[in-house]
Structures are given as structure tokens and as C-alpha cells.
Structure 1
Amino acid sequence: MTPSRNLGAAVRSVFSDTTEGFLEIFRNTLALLGIAVACMIVVFLVRPDWRLAGEAQLHAWLQERQHAAAEGSIASEPEAIERTTATNPKALPREQAAIAYWLSKKYKVAAEPMAALVAEAYNQGSQHKIDPTLILAVVAIESRFNPFAQSSVGAQGLMQVMTRVHTEKYEHFGGDLAAFDPVSNMRVGVAILKEYIRRAGSIEGGLKYYVGAANLPTDGGYGAKVLAEYQRIRQVAGRAAPASPPAQPTTTAAAPAAGASQTLALASTQSADAAPGATHPDNM
């Protein structure tokens, strides 16, 4: 046999022996792992307390790994969109969209949340037979569309409802903290405004009740501010302004006041596409 053949046979023999050695080690390792797993299963069956402790440690380790991986990143929460008070102004009817854009610019509030508030005002106006532009005028004067506003006497939210006075009204929305939910606050406020207008017999008188001046000779100009903003919003909406400036009552709020604005807010002049919403009450 030539030297080259001897060398080839030796290489093949070494390679074959090495391969068989690795396979033997691999088989032995698998066997040992199988025995170890079987022993662990038996131990966990015999000692369930050890199993529970092991599961707890494994769970803690996995959580640590998850937190470490999440550091520096934002956790996914796709359902967060459901908590937002916002809508696309372009999806609104033309009249509502015009009001939303105008109010957004004037009060420096993003158009999307303003559009949601305008749509809600129209929903509430349809349900309570109140001009939605009057509702928006009250919100504008009360809070300038800040849903987290609070006065020195405790009036809160968009329509500055006296939460401690109207606590029972917020029970329908889960409690007093709903005062800071824009939609809940508006629903409570509109219901109160409707009741005050009905009680006083006029918009002017109802506004006097709303600001807490029902038993005072004057409301300090509050009603005039609301009615002025009311007329401006109506003009933006393309609606006719009152034929004459509404009179500001100087006696008690319960006395009906004459003026074209009394019928404007109670005539339900909103667009036919406005859908009914839910109820609201407001501050005293």
C-alpha cells in the first residue's frame, strides 16, 4: 500500500472515530437531560410547594426581562383612542364644522377636540330643545373650553358646574370626577341650563340662575356676555341674528323678559342631521 493511501485511510479512520465520539456524547447528554427532567417532574409531584416556588421565580424572571426590554420604549395601548374627546372636523356637517374651526381659532383649542364638543352640543341641543349655539356660548364664557377649569367657589369643568351641589347628577357618570370629563360635564350642564330657563321663563332669566344671581338685582354682566357670544356663534353658523338686542333683566330672574333671543334658544333650530345625545345639569 502506497504512503498516500495509508494517509487517506488514517484520515478517514480519525474522522469516523471523532464523529462517533460526538454522537455518543450527544446521546449521553440527551439521556442525562431526560433523567434530570424526569427527576424534576417527580420532585414537583411529590413537593408541590417547590413547584409553586419555582413557578414564582420563573414568573419574576420573565417580568424582569420584559421590563428590561420595554425600557426606553412606549408600551402598546391601541385602545387609548377610545378615551379621547376628539373627532375630525371635516366629518361634521358644514354648519358644525364652521363653528368648530372658528371656536378653535378664537379659543386656541385644537380643532379635533373642539369638533367633538360642537357635535355634542348639537346632540344635546336636539335632545333638550335648546339652540346648540347657546350651549357653546355658555361653555365659552364659563371656561373658554378648558375641561379642567375650576373657579374659586368650586365650579368645575367645561360648563363650570358646582359639583358639590349637583353630586347626584354625576352618579349617572360614575361619580364626581366625571366633572372633568368634557362630555359628562356638558351633559350635566345642559340639563341644568334647560331647567333654569324653564324656571325663569326666559334665556336671560335662566342665565341669571345659572351664574348664581337669581336673587340679586343684576348678574354683573354675565348674561350679556353669553348672549353676545351666542349671537357671534349664530352668525358663524349662518343663522339669523336676533332682530333686536336682548334685554338684560334688572329685577328677579324669575320674571320673563321680552326679546327675540328667548325663542331662539328654545326653538331647536339646529340642523336636521344633529343626532340626540344624553342629559346634563350645571352650576348654581
Structure 2
Amino acid sequence: MTATQKFTKGLRIFASDIAQGFFEITHNGFALLGLAVMFAVITLTARPEIRQAGEIQLMGWLQNRQTALTGIATDMEANDRATATNPQSLPKQQAAVAYWLSKKYNIAPEPLSALVAEAYETGARTKLDPTLILAIMAIESGFNPFAQSPVGAQGLMQVMTKVHTDKYQDFGGKLAAFDPVTNLRVGVKVLQECINRAGSLEGGLKYYVGAANLEDDGGYAAKVMAEYNRLQVVATGRSVPMAPPQVIPVHMPTKAPVAAENVASLANS
């Protein structure tokens, strides 16, 4: 064997040794990586709180990154907090009512659909016609969840929050008056008390508006009943002309002492 051949053979052996060593190192490295991944998966499976903490941290980082890039703070829970429902997901009767009210009062159908669904659910539970509940919301606030009268009636159903503070305790406090669904539920409770006290629907509406001791309720009961009758027809699927929305002069300052007295007596009865 010549010197050149010996040199070539030695070079091959050297290269082979290097290749073998590299293979063993990388093989062992991948094995260690695989073991690390396996242990990490086992740990995250056995300790879900660690996984949740990691997910929260990662989501926070991604949100901060998105805010830095766009200049708009993100909130992945905003969609869950929104009081809105796809009207197409409602039963046909409820969808008809939601679309009709949406057009009449210039309110988006999605939030109205959520209120319609809640009115039907609450109505079934309290034995009150849901279209009556919706009619009162229409006349009282025009479906403005942030409405407030001169004497302090607030929200969709214009409940006297200061008088009925106790009714909001189970909902976290009086600021819940501006949560549409909570205001609806509390308003229905007050309406039930008014109807039971008066002994009739029309009389209950007079109590509700704070005009129980007055000869005239300013046409309030008539407006509610007219809208109630229209909504009953809408719910059957028939076409109903849209009268212009009423401007609501209810809970007027001149009625404040009477309103406070009657609603307070209901709250304590």
C-alpha cells in the first residue's frame, strides 16, 4: 500500500468516525428532546392549572403584540359580553317580532333578538305575555338600555332603581340596572307586583307608571295596550303597519311624589 493509499484510507476512517459521532450526538439529542416533550405533555395533562396559566400568559403576550401593532386594545371576551343574538336562530314567531321591532325603533336586530328571546323566556316563567313585556320596553324607553327619566327611572323598563335597590342585589348591585337583561327581569318583577296590587292589567300599568292616585295616567296604559295588540298580531306572522314610535313622557317630574310613593309601597308590600 502506497503512502497515498494509506493517507486516503486514514482520511476515510477519520471521516467515518466523525460522521458516526455526529449521528450519535444528534440521535441522542433528538431522543432527549423527545423525552422532554413527552414529560412536558404529561405534566400539562396531569396539571391543567399549569396549562391554563401558560395559555393565559401566551394569550396576553399575543394580545399585547396585537395592540402594539394595530394601536387597538383587544378583548377576546367582548363577544361573549355583548347582549346580542342572531335573529335567524330564533323560533319563527320570535324572529318576526324581533325584525318588526328592529325596523320600527331603528335598533339593530341582533340586540333586539336577545331581548325578545329573554322576554319569551321570562314571560313563560312568570306567566306574563312576552309581547306585553316588549310593549312596555318600547313605550318606556324605545329599547334604550341607558335611558333615564327626570325622576330617576332607569334602563329598558324604566325601573325606579333607588326604590328597588333590593331587587338588584342578586345581580351585583344597582349598576345592573343598565344591564338590559337584568333590567328586563327586575322590571317584570315590579310589573307583577303592580298587576297583583291593582287586580287588572290596565290598573297595574297605572301603578307601574306611578299614576295610581291620579285620574289620568297621561295615556300611558292606552299606548302600552296598543303596542301590545300590534305585537300580538306580528307574532302570528301577519303584516302590521308601523305607527311612528311614541315619544314617552312617562314618569314626569309632576308625578314624581306619586310615583315614588306608589312604587315604594309596592317594594315594601
Residue of structure 1 equivalent to 2:197: 199
Unaligned stretches of 5+ residues in structure 1:
1-62, 241-280
Q: Give the 5 Å matches for 1:154-193.
A: 154-193=152-191
From 211, 215, 218, give the equivalent of 1:217: 215
Return the offset for 1:74: 2.4
| Residue among 97, 119, 132 paired with 1:134 | 132
Q: CA deviation at 1:78?
A: 1.4
List runs of 5+ in structure 2 lacking aligned partners. Answer: 1-60, 239-265
Query: Do residues 73 (structure 1) and 71 (structure 2) align?
Result: yes
| Aligned counterpart, 2:143 | 145
Q: Which moved more, 1:129-138 or 1:211-220?
A: 211-220
Secondary structure of 1:119's partner?
Answer: helix
TM-score, normalisation: structure 2: 0.63
Please identify which structure carries the higher helix content.
Answer: 2
Structure 1 residues 69 and 141: CA distance shift in structure 2, 3 A = closer
**Match in the other structure for 2:225:** 227
**Secondary structure at the counterpart of residue 101 of structure 2:** helix
| CA positional deviation for 1:96 | 0.2
C-alpha separation between the residues in 2 aligned to 1:118 and 1:214?
A: 29
What is the CA-CA distance between 1:200 and the residue it aligns to?
0.9
Q: 1:189 to 1:172 in 2, by over 3 A?
A: same
Choose between structure 1 and 2 for higher RCO, CA contacts under 8 A separated by at least 6 residues: 1
Distance 1:219 1:131, change over 3 A: same
- Per-residue CA deviation, residues 26-48 of structure 1 (Å, 9 max, x unaligned), is xxxxxxxxxxxxxxxxxxxxxxx
Tell me the alpha carbon deviations over residues 171-221 of structure 1, each in whole angstroms, 9 at most, x when there is no partner: 111111111100000000001101111111110000000000111112111
Task: Give the TM-score normalised by the residue count of structure 1.
Answer: 0.60
How big is the shift at 1:231?
0.3
- The residue that corresponds to 1:85 in the other structure is 83
Identity %: 66
In 1: Cα distance, 2:119 partner to 2:78 partner: 24
**1:164–1:77 distance in 2 versus 1, CA, 3 Å:** same
Instruction: Report how far residue 239 of structure 1 moved.
Output: 8.2
2:66–2:74 contact (8 Å) kept in structure 1: no
What stretches of structure 1 move > 4 A for 4+ residues in a row? 66-69
Name the CA distance, whole Å, in 1 between partners of 2:186 and 2:97: 22
